[in-house]
Structures are given as structure tokens and as C-alpha cells.
Homo-oligomer: A and B are copies of this chain.
Amino acid sequence: MKFTEKNMDISRRSVERLILYRKLLIRYEESGEAHIFSHKLAELADRTAAQVRRDLMAVGFPGSPVNGYQVKGLIKALSNFLDDPVGQNAALIGIGNLGRAVLEYCWKRHPKLKIVVAFDNNPSKVAVNIHDCECYDISALEENIVSHNIKVAILAIPATAAFSISQKLLKSGIKAILNFTPARLPIPDNVYIENFDIMRSLEKAAYFARKLDSKK
């Protein structure tokens, strides 16, 4: 069954890896390679070849035992699987240190996914244009979220403001939130949320550093 239909359910972890594979493949293609074997892609992604092939089953792009996968075709198949054909817009809430770093970083990285609007309550930060992204006052949040058909938001405001803004986002039809504030937001389960907390990541890193350092 080479051309598996792509409406099968797929795990969060698997999607994560598919996104990584695509990124690695784009880089790999730039180095001039036209084909790649699962074990090579696995090496780049730091996974096993079997897992790579399993993950790719969801995408349904066939490889050949002789040459492996055609890189260009696989990238296209992955994009077809992962991206919205029309493209998706995202919003940034909070144009502080972190918000600006994110804006800078995400600029022009993805042809189908762009941060097109940002919001802040500090007048000095609005009415400007950073990297193709229009900056508005926070009072214009709802109307712009709706009018730009935005379903993804990045929260980078102080924790104290996080809850009330998240409620507004939900009301405006947001379906995914990347939450950089340390606040825990109550979210219905038909909305995706990912909480980032660098302090917690640092604690985890420190825990394992200690374990690894004490071994041998």
C-alpha cells in the first residue's frame, strides 16, 4: 500500500518528527544530494531508521530500495501533509524582549506560516512595522484576529495579563497557543496549547546534568 491516504490519526510526537525531517531534508538538499536513505535521515534526526520509515508511512511518499527517497519529492510530500495549502497566519501578543526575538527568528522561515500581526499595550511599540508584521494596540486584538483568520497565537506578555488575553483569544476563535508566560491557562480540549518555561527546562537540564556527571 504505497499511497496510504493521509487522514489516519497521527501522534503528536510523530508530527514533531515529520517537521524535523522536513527541515533536515531542506538542508540536505542544499548540500546537493538528490536522494536519501532512511538510515541517513535517521542519523541526521538522531533516531532509528525504522522509526523514520514508520513516520513516513503517514505521508505516503514511496522510497525505492535502490536510491532511497527522492529528496525534493519527499520535502514536497511532507509539506503537503504538514502545511495548509492556502497558508496560515499567526499573531504575536507582547512585543517585548522575547516577542521581538521570536519575531526576528520566525521572519521568512516558512512560506506557508507567517506572523502577520503583533499586539502590545505600550504605545511606543505599536503602529510600527517589524519584519512584515503590523503592530497594533492590544485593544484591536479581537477584530484583527478574526479579520486575518488567525488560528495560532504566541503569548509573550507578563503573566499577570495572560489569563484575560487568553480568554479574548479563545473568543476570537484561536485554536492553538504557544504560551511563553509562566501562567497556566485553562483551555478547552479542542484548543492546542504548548507551554514553554525555560526555567523548568533549565531545571530539567540541571537534574540530568547532575545524574550524568555522577555516573562514572
Contacts and interface: CB of A to CB of B under 8 A. Distances in A.
Interface residues of A, number: 58
A184 B44 contact: yes
Interface of A: 12, 15-16, 19-20, 23-24, 44, 46, 82-84, 88, 90, 96-98, 100-102, 104-106, 109-110, 113, 151-152, 154, 174-178, 182, 184, 190-192, 194, 196, 198-210, 212-213, 215-216
Contacts of A176: 205-206, 208-209, 212
A198 B152 CA distance: 13
B15 A204 contact: yes
B213 A151 contact: yes
How many copies make up the complex? 2
A181 B104 CA distance: 13
A209 B194 contact: no
Given A97-B97, A97-B100, A104-B97, A19 B209 contact: no
A53 B212 CA distance: 26
Nearest to A199: B109
Given A19-B207, A90-B206, 20 more contacts: A15-B208, A16-B200, A20-B200, A23-B182, A83-B206, A90-B202, A97-B100, A97-B101, A98-B101, A105-B198, A106-B202, A110-B202, A113-B203, A151-B206, A151-B209, A151-B213, A152-B202, A176-B206, A178-B198, A194-B204
